[in-house]
Structure 1
Amino acid sequence: MLDRIKYKLHIWVILLAILILPRQLYADYVLPYPSLMPGHKLYRLMEITDRLKGIYSWGNITSFKYRLRQADKYLVEGKTLFEYKQYLLAVRSLDKSDHEVTLLIPALRKAETEGKNISAQLQVVFSAMDKHSQVLSDISITVPAEFVWRDEFKDSVRLDLDRILENSMKLRIHVASEAAKLR
């Protein structure tokens, strides 16, 4: 009986120690949940508010954070559209993500020339570009190499999805290598 009480007491002490003692958690880079998709009646309004947020993103670090959020958002949007085989819209979203990614390093360079510590942002760039590359790699496995988008009212559009995804992955690798030069 006494052994049983000691055993329960030990369990409670261990549980209490686990809950109370500080610990450090490591999380992978997390992409946002998909927001409104093209075709939704509020999508244009969301794009307008995003542009306004961009105008009010003063400072290099704030601009960097805004651009990264936009790149993440458009990547997730593209991923979702690829999953639903909406390839033309997916490629447009991926182009938007690529554009935002190209603006990350100039913002960090400018911050560095102003003497700001950008080491935390560089770590975020490495994690984000790694996550982006993983997502793009996963997409490239599931989509066809080429696709002809036939619109009812417009001319057909040939999409070289392999090349498009490869270029997006190369861009992310390039951005990560440029970030490494800033260290």
Structure 2
Amino acid sequence: MSSPAADVVRLLTVKGRTLAVAESLTGGLVAAEITSVPGASKAFRGSVTAYATELKHELLGVDATLLAQRGAVDPQVAAQMAAGVRKALGADWGIATTGVAGPEPQDGKPVGTVFVAVDGPFAVESRSAGGGKVEALRLNGDREEIRRESVRSVLALLLAELASEQTGNERAQDTEQNGGF
């Protein structure tokens, strides 16, 4: 049985694509999960664990005004982290996690509030205004459970995007083969 991380590495490798990871609440768990897969070096560029809020701006290019007004636990912050790590590390795909694992609330957000994001080579028509896809999560459990579920969720989000990219490419090829109809 393959893991989500193994599926991510396999799909990226087959497509000749690369991945970069930006993490906050997961503190390196996403990168650890990916690098546990043999052959991950073919697709994995690296990661930035920007635990401190100012590092999200300094290393990942997250808008400083956004961070000051909304805090680090915000869907736009997650989207900008994914786009920023993708650019900073020169990857085709970027994924990000930000949220509150506990035990205390942060920036007025309750424990279990998490945002995961993916940014990649989307077709223009499917791109959202933020440039990527963000999923809002409301997780239950202790700190470790929230962090583990955040890892699972961001990998699932990336897998869905990789699968839709594949479907989109197959449709484009089919259209070309059928004379553009």
Q: TM-score, normalised by structure 2?
A: 0.31
Q: TM-score, normalised by structure 1?
A: 0.31
* Bigger proportion of residues as helix: 1
* Bigger proportion of residues as strand: 2
Q: Rg bigger for which structure?
A: 1
